[in-house]
Amino acid sequence: MKNLKYLVLGTLFGIILTKSEVVSWFRIQEMFRFQAFHMYGVIGSAIVMGMVSIQLIKRYHLRTLNGEEIQLADKQFSPGVWIGGFLFGLGWALTGACPGPLFAQLGSGVPTAAVMILAALAGTWTYSALRERLP
């Protein structure tokens, strides 16, 4: 089963998100009110660790377990990066959750997470339908 490794990595990721409480609405409010370092520490140190890892992968030309060359696609700019980013930010402060934490909340037994995920799916679907008419 080639997808088992992603299930395992996702499970570890979900445990870390939950144990560090970044899945909590309270923590997100604390972050947007600049009242604790916790969230900044989590996100900042995650970025530093990711950055160092990617530099090492590039420098030593590391390959995947199957021996493939590692591909890192560049992110493309569009006005949507600003506008969509801002709209997501509004939603992030309301729900107190980005997509990963929504799934972790669902697993931890928060019933409203199911409603928020359905609404997020509706949002993604609506964007997909309107995509050609948006800037």
Count of residues for the chain? 135
**Rounded distance, CA 95 to CA 25, Å?**
7
Q: Is 59 in the site for another protein (CB under 8 A)?
A: no
Under the criterion CB under 8 A, does residue 61 sit at the interface with another protein? no
> Angle at Cα 85 formed by Cα 79 and Cα 86, nearest 5°?
100
35 binds another protein (CB under 8 A): yes
Is the distance from CB of 29 to CB of 96 less than 8 angstroms? yes
x/- mask, another protein, residues 89-108, rule CB under 8 A, reads xxxxxxxxxxxx-xxxxxxx
Crossing angle of helices 38-59 and 25-32, in 10° steps, is 90
In the complex, the smallest distance separating the C-beta of residue 18 from another protein, rounded to whole angstroms, is: 3
Cα–Cα distance, 109 to 129 (Å, whole number): 32
Site membership for another protein, residue 36 (CB under 8 A): yes
Q: Write down the least CB distance from residue 101 to another protein, Å.
A: 8
CB of 108 to another protein, least distance (A): 4
Asked if 109 interacts with another protein (CB under 8 A), we say: yes
Residue 54 lies near another protein (rule: CB under 8 A): yes
- Give, as ranges, the residues between 68 and 87 that touch another protein (CB under 8 A): 68, 70-78, 80-87
Distance CA 95, CA 64 (A): 36
